[in-house]
A = this chain, B = another copy of it.
């Protein structure tokens, strides 16, 4: 069975249209918890589209900063049926701390905390992106169309988000998941496994660009994120600071650039 088919299940529903109910079968998206064990210990449970688990586990650990180099990954064992993953790393893994947690700890020793420091503090330690990437508007429109065309599970169920790693006008990797963070993590996981570098590539994404998504992109050293949807003010200010291009609302031949337009050529 293809990975796409495994994300979907047929279910009986009552469909109401033209003023009456009909009992039919329809497709809905699967959702299941998956537990990652790190060096023998239970580490995290993620609720996801329960396939591409290798990519998910590796991408999650990579995004969280637990896995940093390809050589650190000793082995990964997947039991897809039971939603279980065992990852072994060489040496001690970096302690798990989300960026948010790290930020909070570093600024609120007195229990006081200024939201306005979030942006600067939370991007601390992430280097400014240095990339000469240039992308044409027509490439962006083309890739936004590609993202839509490739989103097969969404078209059938309406229940997923999509993430595509792109270079010039091509999609290098594409992932769909019920969780927008999972879709991005699966993509990063694949890149980690394949040793892909990011400075000449960018993310085309179906979801809104929140600070958390922007931070993921920044940590990978990626110079640009494109979405059919909206960014938040905080994501924009972080992107401004980190030299990341933010493109939103790519629809019907229009788009908006919220930060670092110099990478977009006409």
Kindly list chain B residues whose C-beta atoms are within 8 Å of the C-beta of A236: 11, 28
Which chain A residues in 145-202 approach chain B with CB under 8 Å? 157-159, 178
Q: Which of B114, B157, B266 contacts A20 (CB 8 A)?
A: B266
CA distance A254 to B249 in the complex (A): 27
Given known contacts A26-B256, A158-B249, A261-B14, A35 and B229 CB-to-CB distance under 8 angstroms: no
CA distance A118 to B21 in the complex (A): 31
Q: At the interface with chain B, which of A42-50, A58-66, A218-226?
A: A42-50
Given known contacts A115-B33, A261-B21, A47 and B14 CB-to-CB distance under 8 angstroms: no
Question: A133 at interface (Cβ–Cβ under 8 A)?
Answer: no
Q: Which of B28, B50, B101, B258 contacts A258 (CB 8 A)?
A: B28
Q: Establish whether residues A16 and B83, one from each chain, have CB atoms under 8 Å apart when the complex forms.
A: no
Q: Which of B19, B28, B232 contacts A230 (CB 8 A)?
A: B28
Question: A4 at interface (Cβ–Cβ under 8 A)?
Answer: no
Kindly list chain B residues whose C-beta atoms are within 8 Å of the C-beta of A76: none
Given known contacts A42-B104, A158-B230, A211 and B31 CB-to-CB distance under 8 angstroms: yes
Given known contacts A159-B208, A210-B47, A266-B20, A258 and B33 CB-to-CB distance under 8 angstroms: no
Q: Which of B104, B115, B210 contacts A178 (CB 8 A)?
A: B210
Chain B residue, CB-CB nearest to A249: B158
Which chain A residues in 70-110 approach chain B with CB under 8 Å? 82-84, 100-101, 103-104, 108
Given known contacts A21-B266, A118-B32, A232-B30, A111 and B158 CB-to-CB distance under 8 angstroms: no
Question: A212 at interface (Cβ–Cβ under 8 A)?
Answer: yes
Q: Establish whether residues B158 and A229, one from each chain, have CB atoms under 8 Å apart when the complex forms.
A: yes
Q: Mark A17-38, 1 if CB is under 8 A from B, else 0.
A: 1111100001011111111010
Q: Mind listing 22 A-B residue pairs with CB under 8 Å? A: A9-B233, A13-B258, A15-B256, A17-B253, A18-B253, A21-B266, A29-B230, A30-B234, A31-B211, A31-B234, A33-B118, A34-B115, A35-B113, A37-B111, A45-B113, A47-B234, A50-B115, A82-B116, A159-B208, A159-B229, A159-B232, A178-B208
